Amino acid sequence: MKSLEPKKLILIGSSTGGPAHLEKILAALDEDFGAAIVIAQHMGSEFIPSFVKRLNERSKLDVAQGHQDATLANGKVFIVSQHSELQTSNNQIYISISKNEYAHFNPDINALFFSAAKLTVKCEILAIILTGIGEDGADGCSILGEKGAYCIAESPKTAVVYGMPARAKERTKNIHTKDLYEIIEIIKQFGAF
């Protein structure tokens, strides 16, 4: 049986201050990037299309809005919304979206990260919590860390708001605290063939 593709997956959760950080990250990556990227940036669903357009203008990678059954692939970036989870079928990883009336955030970073925990036996996962208010993503990051993912919380030096990274650091064993520019370098190395 063929192994799941892609073999490397990057998950990024961010909120306040995140859009500018994400632009810097994606602008630094080459078109032959060897990992799939799924980003959960807190923002209203109505703003995601224009955000995707802006990222596409600044990135060499293909950036798209995450949609139902979108299949992950190396060099492809999906910006998700609502209650987005990662599922597997026919040796592929794809996005499954549902509405969750109890969700406090759009999208729900924890939901995305929780769903990826089962993928750690199939592919390498790099999970990153960037700048943001609150604690969304902290519990999901903790579970991913327990399952063997490499987890990073942005440092207070570069985080616009050190809420989400601080909570992730508190709850995740063996998490690494890095400045944004160090995170960019780690992402580049992770996606190198």
- Domains of the chain (ranges plus CATH)? 8-190 (3.40.50.180)
* Residue 108 is among the residues annotated as catalytic for this protein: no
Write the DSSP string, 57-120. Answer: HH-SSEEEE--TTPBP-TTEEEE--SEEEEEEETTEEEEEEE--TT-SSSS-HHHHHHHHGGGG
Would you state the pLDDT for residue 34? 97
Catalytic: 30? no
Catalytic residue (one of 15, 59, 84, 115): 15
Q: What is the pLDDT of residue 1?
A: 39
Q: What pLDDT tens digit does each residue of the chain (193 aa) get?
A: 355 679 999 999 999 999 999 999 999 999 999 999 999 999 998 999 999 999 999 999 999 999 999 999 999 999 999 999 999 998 899 999 987 666 678 999 999 999 999 999 999 999 999 999 999 999 999 999 999 999 999 999 999 999 999 999 999 999 999 999 999 999 999 999 7
DSSP tag of 162: B
List 14, 21, 42, 81, catalytic entry:
42
Give the predicted TM-score (pTM) of the model: 0.96
Alpha helices in 1-47 (DSSP H): 18-27
Is residue 45 flagged as an active site residue? no
The one catalytic residue among 14, 21, 83, 136: 136
| In contact, 38 and 153? CB cutoff 8 Å | no
